[in-house]
């Protein structure tokens, strides 16, 4: 392919797309630059169908490269970049969630999109650039895909929306919104916000959509110029007569009645019984290609269930479990569930149940984040675990996957805006959400459980946060739709949108949206936001009935932290040569000490007495002696001209021989010896910090 490049001004910077020079054996490959952030995206499709796949085999890989930031990976022993960071996983998920809805779900060619970050400038995040690059690579390739999409980031600083804000603006701003979509619709949202009202969030969507349309149109122009003709995909499809035959078997087997069995496990058993009958029928009638036809039958079942759910909700507002469109399932709440943990919240909503546990630690327990983009620390960490028993399954338990990392990150960002600052509450806070049962929106149950657990632990959060998962069912046109509150598993699977909203009574703190169609309109989002707030407030009301504010006292088993401020110049005195002084304090008192560059000292101890002892010790070390003060001191050294005494740990002063007594002294040893405890008065401190002491003056003061 001939080398070509195109550019578009967006957010006051140049978005540049280049193709024809890199990765030419891929079906589609582009290099996209925004500022000095550069991303390579490739798209490759297999010629044959993946074997035994019951779903479309799309793989999206997001590859961080530390060389992009001029860094060498931090580990002393391992320099090869291996497992992606959580941040890379989250960026990869956004690319996946944006492009996946625009593929034919019956397609069985393997498709792999690989995004590699080649350069990063520290101002322009590669996530939106990666989505644009993936969209362009797919669009110009011969891979069947219903794109393109555009992607932008929206910030809000000083009341003004900013398109693709640089990273520094995001720190001070109220909003960090990533959104993607086609020229007409939005199909992916990921947002962290500082209690932004729903009305303002809708304005942000509109602001971002205008730029998305511009980018998608830009990619369309590139596709027209250099795009390959789309190939024919391998689709799982049976003859029309066979699909009709199977559909009739399901209908005659009362599939609609089965779908509306309220209890999840009973519904699944009944559904499996019908599927077994269908598979038996296929095996007996079509033995020569039974396995292939069974795959088609599963898709027919999926399409039929989708059709039934859509029809009943659009025409009669009939949901699978009989609830009204705005109804939230039964909620039960407990706190203080475990005897020795620092805080717990057990949140149950219908057949979804999450136990969230809070652990409070010392400031030094902060997590060090070493990524391609930056090195930082986290004092609030949220982990989300989704064991197989939560959905009644048996499978190997391995490390957290993309879903677990994504759900944990969403629940984490939902609570960040309401946490107390470090000076007010210096603890490192770890929350772990254990999903005990799942049938819809365990991430939002984790968010609610987190609020309960933090308040149970006595963490002084500013306001409680609640969360809800919303859905939408779209009919034959965009004006025909129904918004659903608190979607369960079936409504998520057969519905057209999964919209998670978390926030306080003041506004939104986190959003996440995925769709199964090409996208949703701003009008749809307006209705979803309005209904989500109503549902969130209902859930919060239920939470506040159980615990209305943080406990006044921390759990007895939580560590105690004392914070003191010292002169930064005195830090070296507290640490001592080779850490001698600080290690002596730690060994003697059993505390943990963390010191920051500004002179903040955090003393963490399992009991108050030990913390107080360490506090007094450090205060004595760092106390600045003033002229006129009287001290009890210990003689540490004898010289011909006087005696040196330790006033405070690490601080000595000189008692000149003339200041030992109110008479003439011929020999220092006649008055004091090493180890003696005597009373002195601080006579003078010279400009070099040397301290002159007087026993004679102390006697006169008595």
Q: pLDDT tens digit string along 161-172?
A: 999 998 777 777
Q: What is the CA radius of gyration of the chain?
A: 33
pLDDT, position 607: 85
Supply the DSSP symbol for 578. G
CB 653 within 8 A of CB 695: no
pLDDT one-digit tens code per residue, 60-69? 999 988 888 8
Q: Distance between CA atoms of 145 and 99, rounded to whole angstroms?
A: 9
Q: Report the pLDDT averaged over residues 198-207.
A: 96
Does the pLDDT at position 80 exceed 70? no
Residue 1 has pLDDT above 70, yes or no: no
pLDDT of residue 441 exceeding 90, the answer is no
Q: Which of 151, 11, 156 is nearest to 91 (CA)?
A: 151
Q: What share of the chain is helix, strand, coil (3-state, %, to 5)?
A: 35, 30, 35
Q: How many Å apart are CA 527 and CA 151, to the nearest integer?
A: 23
H/E stretch holding 16 reads strand 13-19
Helix residue spans in 227-288 (DSSP H): 240-252, 255-259, 264-285
Q: b/e for 157-180, b at 16 or more Cβ within 10 A?
A: beeebbbbbbbebbeebbbbbbbb
Per-residue pLDDT, 397: 87
Look at residues 132, 104, 191, 110 and name the one whose alpha carbon lies nearest to residue 8: 132
For 547-560, write each residue's pLDDT tens digit.
999 999 998 899 99
pLDDT tens digits along 358-378 = 999 999 888 887 766 667 788
Which is nearest to 403 in space by CA: 421, 419, 391, 415?
391
Q: Which of 15-24, 124-133, 598-607 has the lowest mean pLDDT?
A: 598-607
- What local confidence, expressed as pLDDT, does residue 622 receive? 85
Instruction: Note the pLDDT of residue 591.
Output: 93
Query: Quick one: pLDDT band at residue 181, thresholds 50, 70, 90?
Result: very high
Between 1 and 614, name the one with better pLDDT.
614
pLDDT score, position 469: 97
Q: What mean pLDDT do residues 95-106 have?
A: 95
pLDDT score of 75 more than 90 = no
Closest CA to 663 of 702, 695, 639: 695
User: Reduced to 3 states, what is the DSSP secondary structure of residue 515?
Assistant: strand
Closest residue by Cα to residue 499 from 522, 452, 532, 476? 532
- pLDDT tens column, 641-686: 999 999 887 788 999 999 999 889 899 999 999 999 999 999 999 8
Q: What is the mean predicted confidence (pLDDT) over 151-155?
A: 96
Mean pLDDT of the chain: 92
pLDDT of amino acid 391: 87
What is the percentage of the chain residues whose pLDDT exceeds 90? 68
pLDDT at residue 186, rounded to an integer = 97
Q: What is the pLDDT of residues 204-259, one digit of tens each?
A: 999 999 999 999 999 999 999 999 999 999 998 888 999 999 999 888 888 889 99
Contact 654, 644 (CB under 8 A): yes
Q: Which residue has the higher pLDDT, 632 or 624?
A: 632
Residue 275 CA to residue 300 CA, distance in Å, equals 11
Q: What is the pLDDT of residues 506-538, one digit of tens each?
A: 999 999 999 999 999 999 999 999 999 999 999
Q: What is the C-alpha separation between 432 and 501, in angstroms, rounded?
A: 20
Helices 198-226 and 522-546, axial angle in degrees (round to 10): 140
Residue 77 confidence (pLDDT): 57
Give how far Cα 658 sits from Cα of 223, 640, 642, 655, Å.
Answer: 95, 11, 8, 8
Q: Nearest to residue 453, comparing CAs of 557, 359, 344?
A: 344
């Amino acid at each position: 392919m001939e080398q070509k490049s195109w550019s578009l001004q967006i957010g006051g910077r140049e978005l540049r797309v280049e193709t024809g020079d890199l990765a030419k054996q891929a079906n589609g490959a582009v290099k996209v630059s925004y500022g000095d952030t550069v991303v390579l995206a490739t798209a490759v499709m297999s010629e044959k169908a993946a074997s035994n796949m019951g779903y479309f085999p799309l793989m999206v890989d997001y590859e961080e490269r530390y060389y992009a930031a001029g860094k060498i990976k931090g580990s002393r022993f391992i320099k090869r970049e291996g497992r992606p960071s959580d941040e890379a996983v989250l960026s990869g998920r956004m690319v996946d969630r944006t492009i996946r809805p625009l593929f034919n779900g019956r397609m069985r060619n393997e498709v792999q999109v690989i995004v590699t970050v080649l350069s990063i400038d520290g101002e322009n995040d590669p996530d939106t650039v990666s989505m644009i690059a993936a969209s362009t690579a797919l669009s110009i390739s011969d891979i069947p895909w219903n794109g393109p999409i555009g992607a932008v980031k929206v910030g809000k600083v000083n009341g003004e929306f900013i398109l693709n804000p640089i990273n520094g603006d995001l720190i001070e701003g109220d909003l960090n919104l990533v959104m993607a979509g086609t020229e007409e619709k939005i199909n992916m949202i990921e947002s962290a916000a500082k209690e932004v009202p729903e009305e303002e969030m809708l304005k942000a969507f509109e602001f971002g959509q205008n730029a998305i349309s511009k980018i998608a149109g830009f990619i369309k122009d590139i596709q027209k110029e250099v795009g390959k003709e789309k190939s024919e995909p391998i689709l799982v499809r049976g003859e029309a007569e066979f699909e009709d035959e199977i559909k009739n078997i399901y209908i005659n087997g009362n599939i609609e009645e089965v779908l509306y069995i309220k209890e999840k496990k009973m519904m699944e058993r009944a559904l499996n019984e019908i599927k077994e009958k269908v598979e038996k029928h296929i095996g007996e009638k079509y033995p020569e290609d039974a396995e292939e036809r069974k795959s088609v039958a599963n898709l027919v079942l999926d399409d039929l269930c989708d059709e039934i759910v859509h029809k009943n909700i659009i025409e009669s507002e009939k949901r699978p479990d009989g609830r009204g469109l705005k109804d939230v399932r039964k909620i039960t709440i407990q706190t203080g569930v475990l005897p020795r943990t620092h805080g717990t919240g057990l949140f149950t909503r219908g057949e979804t149940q999450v136990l969230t546990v809070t652990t409070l630690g010392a400031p030094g327990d902060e997590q060090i984040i070493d990524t391609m983009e930056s090195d930082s620390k986290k004092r609030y960490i949220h982990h989300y675990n989704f064991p197989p028993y939560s959905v009644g399954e048996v499978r190997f338990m391995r490390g957290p996957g993309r879903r677990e990392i994504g759900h944990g990150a969403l629940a984490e960002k939902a609570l960040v805006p309401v946490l107390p600052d470090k000076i007010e509450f210096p603890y490192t806070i770890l929350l772990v959400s254990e999903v005990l049962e799942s049938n819809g929106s365990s991430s939002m149950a984790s968010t609610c459980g987190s609020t309960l657990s933090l308040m149970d632990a006595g963490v002084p959060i500013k306001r409680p946060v609640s969360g809800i998962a919303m859905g939408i069912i779209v009919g034959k046109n965009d004006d025909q739709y129904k918004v659903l509150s608190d979607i369960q598993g079936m409504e998520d699977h057969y519905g057209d949108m999964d919209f998670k909203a978390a926030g306080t009574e003041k506004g939104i703190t986190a959003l996440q949206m995925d769709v199964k169609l090409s996208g949703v309109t701003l009008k749809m989002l307006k209705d979803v936001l309005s209904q989500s707030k109503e549902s969130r407030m209902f859930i919060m009301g239920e939470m506040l009935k159980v615990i209305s504010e943080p406990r006044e006292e921390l759990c007895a088993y939580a560590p105690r932290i004392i914070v003191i401020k010292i002169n930064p110049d005195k830090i070296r005195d507290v640490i001592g040569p080779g850490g001698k002084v600080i290690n002596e304090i730690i060994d003697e008192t059993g505390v943990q000490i963390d010191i920051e560059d500004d002179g903040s000292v955090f003393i963490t101890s399992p009991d108050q007495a030990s913390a107080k002892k360490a506090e007094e010790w450090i205060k004595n070390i760092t106390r600045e002696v003033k002229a006129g003060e009287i001290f009890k001191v210990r003689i540490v050294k004898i010289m011909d001209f006087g005696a040196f005494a330790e006033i405070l740990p690490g601080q000595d002063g000189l008692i000149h021989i003339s200041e030992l007594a109110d008479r003439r002294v011929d020999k220092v040893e006649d008055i004091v010896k090493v180890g003696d405890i005597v009373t002195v008065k601080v006579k003078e401190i010279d400009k070099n910090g040397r301290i002159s002491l007087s026993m004679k003056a102390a006697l006169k003061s008595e």
